[in-house]
Structure 1
Amino acid sequence: MHKIDALKGLGLSLEEICSVIELYFDDAIVIHGKQKVLDILYSHLQETEEKIEALQQFRTELQHNIAKMLRFIDQAKG
């Protein structure tokens, strides 16, 4: 149970934990299990970086649209 809690603490989903937990018990030195967890964590990091990039792009688009609407309003006011 401690290993499951530790893996959950690293941000792994239950599905991901299921895919690596047996490696912790089958591998006497636990290297394969840790490598698999590391691969999952790298994947999470890549997904996070992609989401951050998409959000930054969205923020830039929002800022542009806000500025555009403010200019339109200012022009309409005369």
Structure 2
Amino acid sequence: MSIMSLRLPDELADTLANLARATGRSKSYLAIDALRDYLAREAWQIAEIQKAVEEADAGDFASPEELKATFDKWATDAN
């Protein structure tokens, strides 16, 4: 396991300490858990963007009929 130091704003450090006390978890556990969630979400988003760019580069766009069907569905669901 690697060791990493970082500076936290006092407000964030206080929130982390309070949450650690309230949950009975260590500050390290909570920070790692939060970082893991953030990194997974960001990696997913980047992968989806890259996939969309590849589809666009390949000319894989929705047809006018598919767009109309989607717009119609959302218009119906909104009412």
Compute the TM-score of the two structures, normalised by the length of structure 2: 0.49
Tell me the TM-score normalised to structure 1 length: 0.49
Which one has a larger percent helix, Structure 1 or Structure 2? 1
Higher relative contact order, chain-length normalized (CA < 8 Å, sep 6+): 1
- Whose Rg is larger? 1
